[in-house]
Each structure stands twice: as structure tokens, then as C-alpha cells.
Chain A
């Protein structure tokens, strides 16, 4: 009979040891809302499951100087309920709030959403757009990388054996900086993004964009940071010409596939639409902070 071991360490070090010591496949559980489905369907047959929910350091949100620090296994509902985070990064909270259902968000975490390495993960584009970093623990100690460096393809991450994300560091927004995340699904909830788009912009006092990041989801093997789309915004107000350039830049960046959730042609068109709409929301929010 196939057997799986389960451990719930109390510290990061114990978790590192457990993961590094596993002979076969070891999986991190930081919510389990993807992992359990994969186990049940037979897609994954790990030898060991390491539950991160019992490690105090990995749950919760704190402010350290110029950063929000988010424990990797913090359930989505805690992010949504955090007023200061929600005020600073409404786009991140929008992404988290779209994962599954309320019940799912009681378990699901950003780290789980990220390390499941689905191109369609809803919380990932706004976290990347915020230029967040991830602190990774492993047998060789800790390291810190940009969040976009972690996913390298569908179901694949750059994490080495025994490594896992401990926390995310999100730089607090500058004045007149704000974000927005939109995804498209054929229903109104309980679905997987056909396309997702996060836009994070900083405006000057006159409403001109001075910094921007545009991140697309579900249109390539990984989340895409679309520099050309950001350049279309920087130095401009959100007029029709800027929106049209943003739309085209977003479309050009797409490298989607056709699958049961959408066609190449449709995904490309929708990426442009969502980029425009998310930018409009982000600009409005940023301007309101003036």
C-alpha cells in the first residue's frame, strides 16, 4: 500500500531537517488546498508531508521598518483582515481574496499559491508587482530572492531540496503608489484565472506615472513582468493613447497555450483588456492618495 508520513515541526530548523532528510519526494504543506487535491487525484505521491502551520514564525503579518513581513503559511483570511496591509496593497488582497472560496482562504497561503507554481495563481502577480522578496530557509541557511525568481515553469520552482519559503518582505508603498489586480474567469467565483493582471503604479503630484510594474498571469509558463507595458505607463497620464499602448504591450508579451480554460487568441485579447482595466483602478487609487 502507498504510505505517506506527516510531520508538523514547531521551528523552521526542524522543518529544514525533515525536508532535507527525506529519501523520496517531500512536500511542504502551508495550507494544503492544492496539495491535498493533488494527493487525492493521484498526481502526487510524496513520501513525506511537512506541515508549516505549526511554526509560529511562519504565520502572521508584521511591520518591520519599511516592510510588511508576511509569514509564508499565513492563511488568506488573515491578509484580507489586515487593515494596514489592505490599505497599502489592495491589489495583493484582491488576489488573495480570489483564491477558491472563503473556506479555502481559511487555509490557503501566498507561499502555497506561489510554490504550487501554477501560472494562474491569483496572489502571485500583485506580490511580484509590489517588488516583494521571499526569504528562503534551507540546509545552507537563509537567502532572500525576488519573488519572480521562484517559479520557473508550471509545477516547477527554483527551490533546492530542503528549501522552503519562510516569509515575504513587501516594501511599503511610496506616496501616491498603489496597486490593483484583476482576473478573468467565465463565472463570478470558484474558478481558475483565464488571465490575471496586476498593475502597481507610482504617480507624481500631477498624476503622471513615475514608476510602474505590470505583471500578467496565466498567459505564459510563469507570471510575466511586462516591462514594455510599464514603459507605456511611465511618463504618462492615463489617457486613451497610453491605454492603447499598454493594451498592445500586454498582448505582445503573452505566450499562452490553448487549454480547457482558454485559447491562445482569447487569452491574448483579454490580457490587453485586463491591463487597461487594472491600470485604471491602480491610477485612481494612487491619485486618491495625493
Chain B
């Protein structure tokens, strides 16, 4: 059964009020920090003041002597996660590294690295106890930046990391954990063919996901080992599995209950607190609550990596690109595993390059281990490629949009990473840009317009869903994915559409790990695709059951029953003359027709549709102060089918907002000792509301035929184009090319001064 015909849809594509909306706007929703239990203790973390140091000893005597302190823990309490046990299911995290990120063993690898934890009867006592935990360190040389970390003789973070992906296999350990490479055609021949070759270097700074809700959990471990975790995350099944492996418990002994989540953006796809709270609860015999401060969030969670991106493009005079090359070096932070591979792939995936080569380096440094952030890796690679496209357009004297029209990927194009595109909407985003009113709007002095495109894979994978018909005919839908972008609404809409009932009759619930089958995390823009596929199939199964029950009531064959507009009808005159039966009637008679009416499905969803976007940005630059004002912004995206258009637009607008922060002001400022100087929103400058214009959205709908409603992921690709769109707009406004993020006022002013030296007091 397919619902790809948009004209036939009654609910999907409308904009009902979200089922979780009232709770959220009235403050009733329970987020990670909202839960309490009787006898609960407060846990706090002792963190490293050093960027790199050996832990010589930890003394708890004084802390334990403080009245009210009930338990302490440190790395020695946690089992060794052997390499064989470093992965669980299909989850991406390396749990050996994650365990060491959660609590340091032997060495601390960044300022803020957790060294010990304490649980006490009040927050104040726990805080006081931290000062009484004595940690002796041997401070080691640290290394913060990519090139310094790659240099010979750099301080080594790990002596067991040997660069993977190079031949011959290295014999000396390195801060480069791996090298990845993708190629198509013959890139050298492609550059020889070119009339013009440009080669540029771009850099980006690490940025935090900036979710408003700090990490928080409440964990209770009973004497028999049964454990309940209430926490805010992007996946309750992830919390359960990761915690089990890090603390050495069986998965079946842990029940993880998802709290409402106050933003994640990828940063809550791993655990930080739950294993520590588990150990403190196990040792104290009491529930333990832990809530990070904003300062801790900045010092020890996230970020997305800082990077160096070198791009080389060769083209014919007519704008046809003959070769493309990108070399990406990403900070992984304290443990291996930056998203450099995605940066390599996604940056080049927008175009039809006959010859291309991309190489990525994963580089360890004494910073917090990077975490996923909305299209992990892609925005960084794309900042380089999309900026360089603009520089190429300028060198060729071709309109930047035209250059993309000439070289853009289409169905049948083979991407550098080997995928041949089908059912993609990239060209449609360019057509929409070309046709947009924005592109034609006049600009004033010191104003400029930039354009940039972006790609993200989107994901499918494991999802479960259950659909229950209640006695009164209302519907309960249980899914396994925390709702971070309005997915409850989308799930309920798809179910309502399938069953033919009003949206309000369907109540969606995010189940805990014991109330719904396994579901992978909310991430990869996968929930509306995979979760939506699961709920749709569950609803379709329920329709079959409803038809059977009507058949029982009418005493006819189920084949002779038709389901339409929320009611069972006799399929034709031969089936008999019966009044239609609605859900309330069938639900109320369930006990007499065969029992409860429910269906649960488990799927491993395949066939997610790739996401492409093109953004247009207008800026005005104050050449004297370097201040960049975003005047107007239009995000254009192939969204497949917008299930709830408002929440699709919200995803697009949110991604753009984060991208503008990344472009203009967000950066970590470290002192010479590798300690963070701006761990708060005052000096880590995400945009404020008054910084932003209304972000216009144009949703292009190229349905994904592998999804019953044609949905593709929409949540991540909106963060891919903005940095280059802003940089290209600044270039258009000023003639100045900013290649280093953030393009903050001092950098812009310095670029202006480099062009036309000012009169200075020093003269």
C-alpha cells in the first residue's frame, strides 16, 4: 500500500498542533533534570584541570569523611572494555574509548575529563566533596591543534594508536588514527585537462551543538542489580546498551526511560553521566541524580571538530569541472573517530565530477572527544568545497548558481564515494533557487548575496512500532525514538492517514526499553523515514485486523471487507448490505471478536533518500567594525514529502541558525595550558534571536519511493550549506574572501585593513 499520491492525502501534509506541545509550552514536560525519587542522592564529577596529565593517585578519605557523602567512584571501579566488547549491536560508538571518556583511566586527555565522582545527600555537599577529593597528577605536554598534533615529536595521546589506512603499516604510534581515501576517475589527468586550476585552504573551529538542556539523568540500581535509568538522550536503547557495557551489567537488567529532550543535535547519541550515576547508585544503594552545569557541558561534551580543508578544483573555461580534490584533517579530540569520512564524501557529493580524489585524516588532540553534530562532518567539508566553487565561479566569471547548474549531480551521476544517484532532487533545488524571488531582489551598498549547496546521506536502520486500538476506538502508537524534532506529530499523522481517523484520535507515545522493541537512536535524520515506515506498517496491519473483526461481526469473508475513511464497509453489493462499522464500534466489541486489536512491527529500514539543499544568503558588512548582518536567508531543500510541513520548515530554519552561528561567531577559546576560557553562552556566541532575519524556506518535494509516504530525512542537511553561503555573501558584498571560521568582526576588519591599511594611532 502506498501513499505517494499527494492529492489523495487528508492528514499528511497538514499542520496540526503537536501532541507534546501543551506540555512543553506550559512547562509540564519532564526533561532529564526534572525527575526525583525518594532517598535520591546528588552526584557530581571531579574533572581534570589539566589538558594532558598522568593520574598518579586519587585519595577519597577526606571526601568520604564529609557528613552526607554516600559514595565515590573512579576509573578503577569500572571493568576494562576489551576490544572484543568495544561494540554492541549495530551502534557506532567504540565503547572502549567511550568508557575512558566517561571516566579517565591512567591519564586525563583534556581539561574537563572526568576523573572521579561523588554522591551525597545534597548538591551543596556533593559540590563541597569535590574539593576534598585529592588527585595527584604528573602534567604532560599537551597538543591542541591539527598540524601540531601531526608533527614529528608531538605529544602522543595514546601509545596504542597506529595510523590505519596507510601502507606499509606504521611501526610507531601516532596522533593520526586513520587515513581515508575515496577516488573516481583520474584526478591528475583531470587537472591537466583544465583551463584553470585553483587551490585553496580553509579552516574551521570546533563548535558545540549548543543544546539548551544540559545532560541529566537519574539512575537507581537495586540490590539484585535491576536498574532503572531516567535520562535525556537521543536513544533510550543506546543509553541501555552503552551503560550496560561500560558498567558490566546485562542489558536485560537495565530499563531506560526516555525523558523529554531539550535539544541534542547529535550530541546526545552517546552517554556521559549514566554509567557514573549507575556506579554511585550501586555503591550507595540509593538512586543518584546527576545534572551537568553549562560549564561542564562545554568542557566535556560535544563538540564538532575543528578542521583544515584543502580544496583544489580544475575547470574548462565554459565552467565544466574536470577534476576536484579535497584533503581534510579533522580534530577527533581525545579519542579516535572524527566524522572526517563524511566530510570527504559529502563535500564532493553535490557534483558530477568526472575525476575526483578526497583524503581524510583523523587527528587526536587534547580536546574533548568530538560528538555527532547534525550531518556530522559534512558542514566542514562543504564549507571548503562550496567556498572554493564560489572562488572558481569568480575566476571563470560565471554566476555561482550557473556553475552549480552546469556541474550539479543528477539521477545517474556516480558520486566520488561510489554511489549512483537515483530519485535525487538536487537540480530541483537549483531550479527553485533560480525561480525564487530572493534571487532577483535588489541589493544596497555593502550588501552581497551568496549561494551554497549541501548533501547529507540520511539514514534508515532498526525501528519498532506498535499500534493499539483502544476500547473506545482511539489509537495509541508506541515508538522507540525520543522526539527531538516533532516526530510524535509525524508518526500520529501517518497512522491517522492509514487508518482514516482524525489526527486527534491518535496518541503517540515514546516507549521505554521495556515497552517497545529495539529502536536505534534518533539521529541521521532517520526517524520520520524508518520510524515512519514502522508505524505505517503497524497501522496497515491493524487495518487488516479491523477488516477481519468486521468480517466476524458481519459473518462474511475478510476479503469482502473494505477499509475506507476510518470505517469498515462491505466491499461490494455481493458482500451483503451492512451499515459501516467505525473504530469505536469495532474497538468496543474486540473481546467478542477475537480479543485485543494491536500490531507491532520491527524493521531494518532500507532505502533512505539522500538529502540535498541549496541556500541563498544576503548580508550587509560594516567595513569599519567587521560586523556582518544577515539580511535575508532562503533555505531550499528536497524534503521528499513533508509529513508535517511546519516541523520540516522548523528543521530547515534551525539548521540555518546553527550554521550562521558557526559561520560568524562560535569558537572555543583556549589558554596556553589548554584550558577553556569561554565555557558559557555569554562568550561562546551562538546567535540570539535579534541576530536572525526570518528564514524563508522553499520545500521541494521529490518523493522517496522507498518510503510509504515518500519521506526523506530533513533534519541535518540544513546545517551543511550555511557557512559557505555566508562566506560567499561576504565576498559578494566586499570582495573579501574569508577562508577561516568564524568570520567574526575582528577577522573581517583585519581583512579590510589588509586591503586598505587604515590610519592607526600607532603611526
Chain A residues within 8 Å of B, Cβ to Cβ: 1, 184, 186-192, 194, 244, 247-248, 251-252, 254, 260-263, 265-266, 268-270, 272-273
Contacts and interface: CB of A to CB of B under 8 A. Distances in A.
B74 to A, nearest CB: 23
Most chain A C-beta atoms within 10 Å of own C-beta, residue among B744, B746, B761: B761
Most chain B C-beta atoms within 10 Å of own C-beta, residue among A192, A263, A273: A273
A251 B691 contact: no
B669 A260 contact: yes
B745 interface: yes
A28 to B, nearest CB: 23
A270 B759 CA distance: 12
Given A252-B761, A262-B746, A187 B687 contact: yes
A187 B688 contact: yes
B688 A190 contact: yes
Interface stretch (B479-487, B645-653, B676-684, B701-709): B676-684
4 residue pairs, one from A and one from B, having the closest CB atoms: A251-B761, A266-B746, A188-B690, A252-B761
B124 interface: yes
B625 A273 contact: yes
A191 B685 contact: yes
Given A260-B677, A260-B678, A254 B685 contact: no
Contact of A263 (B125, B627, B682, B746): B746
Contact of A248 (B624, B627, B677, B759): B759
A266 B745 contact: yes
Interface in B622-649: 624-627
Nearest to B661: A187
Interface in B712-763: 744-746, 749-750, 753, 758-761
B506 interface: no
B128 interface: yes
B760 to A, nearest CB: 7
A217 B263 CA distance: 37
Q: Is the interface of B mostly helix, strand, loop or mixed?
A: loop
Given A1-B128, A260-B669, A187 B685 contact: yes
A254 B124 contact: no
Contacts of B749: 266, 269-270
B321 interface: no
Given A1-B124, A248-B761, A266-B746, A189 B688 contact: yes
Interface of B: 124-125, 128, 624-627, 664-665, 669, 677-678, 682-683, 685, 687-688, 690-691, 744-746, 749-750, 753, 758-761
Contact of A260 (B683, B758, B761): B683
Given A191-B682, A262-B746, A270-B625, 15 more contacts: A1-B128, A184-B627, A186-B627, A192-B682, A244-B759, A252-B761, A260-B678, A260-B683, A261-B683, A263-B746, A266-B626, A266-B745, A266-B749, A268-B760, A270-B749
A184 to B, nearest CB: 6
Given A266-B749, A273-B624, A254 B761 contact: yes
B665 A186 contact: yes
Nearest to A250: B761
A187 B47 CA distance: 31
A272 B759 CA distance: 10
Nearest to B677: A260
5 contacts: A187-B665, A188-B688, A188-B690, A189-B690, A248-B761
Contacts of A190: 682, 688
Contacts of A191: 682, 685
A255 to B, nearest CB: 11
Contacts of A269: 749, 753, 758, 760
A267 B530 CA distance: 52
A244 B760 CA distance: 11
Contacts of A273: 624-625
A274 B345 CA distance: 45
B726 to A, nearest CB: 14
Nearest to B680: A41
A247 B691 CA distance: 28
A186 B744 contact: yes
A184 B688 contact: no
A184 B746 CA distance: 11
Contacts of A268: 760-761
B284 to A, nearest CB: 21
Nearest to B626: A266
Most chain B C-beta atoms within 10 Å of own C-beta, residue among A189, A252, A265, A269: A269
A49 to B, nearest CB: 17
A189 B681 CA distance: 12
Contacts of A244: 759
B415 to A, nearest CB: 38
B691 A187 contact: yes
A268 B624 CA distance: 12
Contacts of B687: 187
Contact of A186 (B624, B685, B759): B685
A169 B758 CA distance: 40
Contacts of A188: 688, 690-691
